[in-house]
A and B are shown apart, each in its own frame.
Chain A
Amino acid sequence: MKKVSVSFTLNGDPVTAEVPAAWTLLRTLRENFEFTGAKEGCGVGECGACTVIVDGDAVNSCIFPIPEIEGKSVVTIEGIADKDGNLHPLQKAFLDNNGVQCGFCTSGMIMSAKALLDKNHNPTEDEIRTSIAGNLCRCTGYVQIVEAIGMAAKK
């Protein structure tokens, strides 16, 4: 299998990975770097459980070809608490407001929401819902997730 070497920034650190060219960003994150917070819920970009932030935008890492990550900056759920280990306001709000149930969609939800809040500090409910439109959840009915994102935006 043909391999590629890619260098990019992962949660602030410069990293290099040599992985099969056919791999996705998700597989590289999970298998090469053992960052397993991003999940594979469908593998075809329909459920959003694999969402990470690439150069400021939320992307489905399960359909993101690894060669295209060269030189970019990737942020995953593992990289959003601060250096002292304090949770990001979104992480805290999800715990406080029951935005988490089974938790499988949670990493993706939080990353989609973070991509929004990084650009828009005061989003409307509609903007919040649009930001997670590609993140499916079976447990919550989205209600307390939308509320949690709104709470985090105010922090």
Chain B
Amino acid sequence: MSDHLYVGKSIPRTIEIDKVTGRAVYIDDFKRPGMLYGKILYSDYAHARIKSINIAKAEKLPGVRAVLTGRDVPDVRVGFLKDQSVLKKDVVRQFRDEVAAVAAISPDIAREAIDLIEVEYEELPAVFDPVEAMKEGAPLVHETDARGKPLRTNILPLPWRFQAGDIEQGRRESAFTVIDHVSTTWVNQCCMGPSGCIAEFDMNSNLTLYNQTNVIFGDKGRISEYFSQIGLKGKKIRIINPIVGGSFGTKLDTDIYEFICIQLALKTRRPVKILFDREEEFRALPPRQPARFTVEQGCDREGRLTFRKIEAILDNGAYTSWGATTPSVMMMPVSSLYRVPNIYYQATCVYTNNIYCQAMRGYGNPQASFAVETSMDTLAEKAGIDPAEFRMINRNQSGDLTPMRLKITSCGLEECITSVKEKIGWNDKKGKRNGRGVGIASLIHVAGGARVTLSDGHGIMVKVDEDGFVDVLESGTDQGQGSPTVISQIVAESLGVRPEDVSVIFGDTALCLWDAGTHASRHTFMAGNAAIMACEKAKKQILEMAAEYMPRMIKSDFKKMMKKDPEFVEPELDYSLISDPANLDIRDRKIFLKSDPSHPHFNMDINKVLRRGLHVGTGESRVIAAEAFYDPPTETLDRELKGNLSMTYAFGTTGVEVEVDRDTGEVKILQLVAAHDVGKAMNPTLLLGQVYGAVYTGVGYGLTEEMKLEKGKVMNPNFLDYKLLTAMDVIPIKPVIVEPGDEAGPYGAKGVGEPGLVPTAPAIANAIYDAIGVRIKDLPITPEKVLEAIKNSK
């Protein structure tokens, strides 16, 4: 299958031309007639009782249309564990708690009104350290659970415990064991486009929500549940995506501002927009969850892993969003990165009065892989085995069934490790301890969907018009990943048209079929497979039409030619050949005879056939339209948290060479090799963009990025103090694309959105150790930490 015209080619992103001409409409640019502007007042304390709220002055401000507090909206609990209300009435448990909201005719008036709201608090004892929060006598973040039952602990009732094999047996078989304590901190997703939405009710109280969610049906479902509790049961909900200015996890859950926006729109009967500013992005969005790991591993004399035991403590913050489910993804590297027969894993999520957390690119994988890959290095050293060789000994292989019951189908890990070693110059550079060093780390990630909800399906609709143009209704979200281009390539390839003939409509619950969301690196895999299925159906319809009309059209053409030129002799042709759709195919806009593609007469432009066959009179007119729903035969995790939740898995290895300045503690990345098993690159240029972007975020995670929280308050809510890498931070990245092809993937593709981030930080940490003999187990590895570690090592 190397004769593809469009799949596998670096087709430019021309379909997204609006993004380079300033015409793309983000939520910032979106307006509705009569639209009001919403603004939220947040808590002044990490933990306090609200004694009183005075909104009188705010309400009197001209231009204000609504002021809402917890007393004005139904007390309905939302969130993953239903542990918070939309506007907080009695108690605030974190600085980002939403206390009141305003809708006004301009953003300025809304802001002014917010400043006029007076809230009196009575401060309560708070707890900011998850370990402290677990202790008896610690202040309780929540006094009751969602049902009102008293709580006696800050530990969340989430059963993140996994066992496979026998740890003690593994210990007995070990020649070497190590224990490491590893930790990671809060990082912000830093979407360049701020969060926001517009809620609009019609006079029948049906809602249209213009929203950036990347899970349009999940969002709809959560709002529907909310509706049923606020007296709007039975009212319709439509979610429409604008162009989304980055997501990286922030758009996975329905955020509180969405519910507030809905309440403001309901109250005012006007469209209401809430748009975050950058400070709110830092202070009032849930970041990546911090985690502390105790990781213990062993191996035998040959270097084969014997067991892995990992205990994790996660700072959940004050409420529960998807952050509390990151342990399920952590389980993947914990149980299945490299071959380990005996596993014990437990993750404890703990309420604190810090900001609550949710997903970020890679979910829990970057955190857990930092733990696993730190331990892999310390164990390799103890066993006296080269770190790269150690990983090679334990590499995953095709055909493996991991302790978590993940079925490893295609697996390019061996090639990834080998090419990283070669490209980074591993054998010449390792172990010098001269201020320069090399480090390596690998990854496993879902790459063929992730069955975390009952349906992991993706629905797609394809219709073809009389000009041969194709409209694709696609329930995914375009958050920058390049799907408009990639899906148009896949549709063009499988239908037989050109990418420029294809338009893709994204993200509209009214137009599109169900999709589980554009997350978990699943979109190309799922939508690609669904697109191929839909295109096969549409193609069949076109070929049936062609079989019906092509013979008469060709004959009629001959007649015309005879009229024009009396000398013309009609060739004798076997029309039965093209009267059977099974004999025909479409490629590059041409319908042709499969057995003789260069037949001089039996080929025709697709649009010629469509124009002739679509609109032909009573009883015979038709449309070309097809839908398909791809829901892969995967498993949800069972009670033991085992199951093959994805059709295939991505593997990759990152190698880093660093130079560490012993005087300043600064780490410079001299080169970074990122090898990824992507199945098959659908669009190599776009794929590299995913790798580069993820690697940069991974370097930030490793070296510079951290949200500084002081007693629950984010102290660096801006780009001056939160160190996002800039174009001046040159990281020479050498990508290596490994393409074993995957049987289940569309044209062999696997998901690739998240993987590049995952092994980056541990590879850097391991390289720093190789350079200076000092191991830093706490991210980010800032110059201060490097200097401190050097000092302590002396």
* Residues of A near any B CB (own CB < 8 A): 30, 35-44, 46-47, 49, 76-78, 81, 87, 91-92, 94-98, 100-107, 110, 129-130, 132-146
Q: Are B191 and A130 in contact (CB under 8 A)?
A: no
CB distance from B13 to the nearest CB of A (A): 5
Given contacts A37-B22, A103-B19, A142-B696, 19 further A-B contacts (CB under 8 A): A37-B23, A39-B193, A40-B28, A42-B718, A46-B720, A81-B21, A91-B21, A101-B481, A102-B191, A102-B247, A102-B479, A105-B192, A138-B724, A140-B693, A141-B733, A143-B688, A143-B692, A143-B733, A144-B689
Q: Are B727 and A138 in contact (CB under 8 A)?
A: no
Q: Are A101 and B12 in contact (CB under 8 A)?
A: no
Which B690-739 residues have a C-beta within 8 angstroms of A? 692-697, 718-720, 724-728, 730-731, 733
Contact residue among A43, A96, A132, A134 (Cβ-Cβ distance under 8 Å from B277): A43
CB distance from B6 to the nearest CB of A (A): 16
Decide yes or no: A100 and B193 within 8 Å by CB, A133-B727, A142-B696, A144-B689 being known contacts. Answer: no
| A48 to B640 CA separation, bound complex (whole angstroms) | 49
Please, which residues of chain B bring their CB within 8 A of the CB of A138?
189-192, 246, 248, 693, 697, 724
Please, which residues of chain A bring their CB within 8 A of the CB of B18?
103
Please, which residues of chain B bring their CB within 8 A of the CB of A140?
689, 692-693, 696
Q: Are B480 and A102 in contact (CB under 8 A)?
A: yes
B17 at the A interface (CB under 8 A) = yes
| A44 to B481 CA separation, bound complex (whole angstroms) | 27
Which B247-273 residues have a C-beta within 8 angstroms of A? 247-248
Interface centre among A38, A136, A145 (most CB of B within 10 A): A136
B746 at the A interface (CB under 8 A) = no
Please, which residues of chain B bring their CB within 8 A of the CB of A30?
29
Q: Are B482 and A145 in contact (CB under 8 A)?
A: no
B243 at the A interface (CB under 8 A) = yes
Q: Are B727 and A101 in contact (CB under 8 A)?
A: no
CB distance from B794 to the nearest CB of A (A): 36
| A22 to B21 CA separation, bound complex (whole angstroms) | 28
Please, which residues of chain B bring their CB within 8 A of the CB of A132?
727
Chain B 734-758, CB within 8 Å of chain A: the 1/0 string?
0000000000000000000000000
User: Is the contact region of chain A dominated by helix, strand, or loop, or is it mixed?
Assistant: loop
| A56 to B252 CA separation, bound complex (whole angstroms) | 41
Please, which residues of chain B bring their CB within 8 A of the CB of A95?
12-14, 16-17, 20
Please, which residues of chain B bring their CB within 8 A of the CB of A110?
20
Q: Are A139 and B21 in contact (CB under 8 A)?
A: no
Decide yes or no: A91 and B727 within 8 Å by CB, A41-B278, A102-B192, A102-B193 being known contacts. Answer: no
Please, which residues of chain B bring their CB within 8 A of the CB of A137?
192, 727
Please, which residues of chain A bring their CB within 8 A of the CB of B247?
102
Look across to chain B and name the residue whose beta carbon is closest to the beta carbon of A80: B21
Chain B 6-34, CB within 8 Å of chain A: the 1/0 string?
00000011101111111111101100000
Q: Are A139 and B693 in contact (CB under 8 A)?
A: yes
CB distance from B15 to the nearest CB of A (A): 9
Contact residue among A98, A103, A133 (Cβ-Cβ distance under 8 Å from B685): A98
| A70 to B692 CA separation, bound complex (whole angstroms) | 42
CB distance from B613 to the nearest CB of A (A): 35
Look across to chain A and name the residue whose beta carbon is closest to the beta carbon of B11: A96
Q: Are B20 and A136 in contact (CB under 8 A)?
A: no
CB distance from B48 to the nearest CB of A (A): 29
| A44 to B24 CA separation, bound complex (whole angstroms) | 23
| A91 to B23 CA separation, bound complex (whole angstroms) | 13
Can you pick out 24 interface pairs between chain A and chain B where the beta carbons lie within 8 Å of each other?
Answer: A37-B22, A39-B28, A39-B193, A42-B718, A78-B22, A87-B20, A97-B12, A97-B685, A98-B686, A102-B192, A102-B243, A103-B16, A103-B24, A129-B728, A133-B727, A135-B727, A137-B192, A140-B692, A140-B693, A140-B696, A141-B692, A142-B696, A143-B733, A144-B692
Q: Are B718 and A77 in contact (CB under 8 A)?
A: no
Q: Are A100 and B20 in contact (CB under 8 A)?
A: yes
Interface centre among A76, A129, A137, A146 (most CB of B within 10 A): A137
Look across to chain A and name the residue whose beta carbon is closest to the beta carbon of B24: A103
Please, which residues of chain B bring their CB within 8 A of the CB of A92?
20
Q: Are B727 and A129 in contact (CB under 8 A)?
A: yes
Contact residue among A36, A94, A136 (Cβ-Cβ distance under 8 Å from B22): A36
Q: Are B728 and A104 in contact (CB under 8 A)?
A: no
Contact residue among A42, A96, A98, A139 (Cβ-Cβ distance under 8 Å from B719): A42
Please, which residues of chain B bring their CB within 8 A of the CB of A106?
19-20
Decide yes or no: A77 and B245 within 8 Å by CB, A39-B193, A138-B190 being known contacts. Answer: no
Q: Are A91 and B13 in contact (CB under 8 A)?
A: no
Decide yes or no: A98 and B482 within 8 Å by CB, A129-B727, A140-B693, A144-B692 being known contacts. Answer: yes
Decide yes or no: A141 and B20 within 8 Å by CB, A39-B26, A95-B12, A101-B481 being known contacts. Answer: no
| A97 to B13 CA separation, bound complex (whole angstroms) | 8
Look across to chain A and name the residue whose beta carbon is closest to the beta carbon of B30: A36
Q: Are A101 and B693 in contact (CB under 8 A)?
A: yes
B244 at the A interface (CB under 8 A) = yes
CB distance from B682 to the nearest CB of A (A): 13
| A91 to B479 CA separation, bound complex (whole angstroms) | 20
B194 at the A interface (CB under 8 A) = yes
| A89 to B171 CA separation, bound complex (whole angstroms) | 63
Contact residue among A39, A46, A143 (Cβ-Cβ distance under 8 Å from B718): A46
Interface centre among B189, B190, B685, B692 (most CB of A within 10 A): B692
Decide yes or no: A98 and B191 within 8 Å by CB, A39-B26, A39-B28, A42-B719 being known contacts. Answer: no
Look across to chain A and name the residue whose beta carbon is closest to the beta carbon of B726: A133
Which B160-208 residues have a C-beta within 8 angstroms of A? 189-194
Look across to chain B and name the residue whose beta carbon is closest to the beta carbon of A79: B22
Q: Are B727 and A145 in contact (CB under 8 A)?
A: yes
Please, which residues of chain A bring their CB within 8 A of the CB of B689?
98, 101, 139-140, 143-144
| A46 to B19 CA separation, bound complex (whole angstroms) | 21
Q: Are A103 and B245 in contact (CB under 8 A)?
A: yes
Q: Are A102 and B20 in contact (CB under 8 A)?
A: no
Please, which residues of chain A bring their CB within 8 A of the CB of B278?
41-44, 46-47
CB distance from B765 to the nearest CB of A (A): 20
Please, which residues of chain A bring their CB within 8 A of the CB of B12?
95-97
Look across to chain A and name the residue whose beta carbon is closest to the beta carbon of B700: A138
Decide yes or no: A102 and B246 within 8 Å by CB, A110-B20, A146-B727 being known contacts. Answer: yes
Interface centre among B22, B193, B731, B733 (most CB of A within 10 A): B22
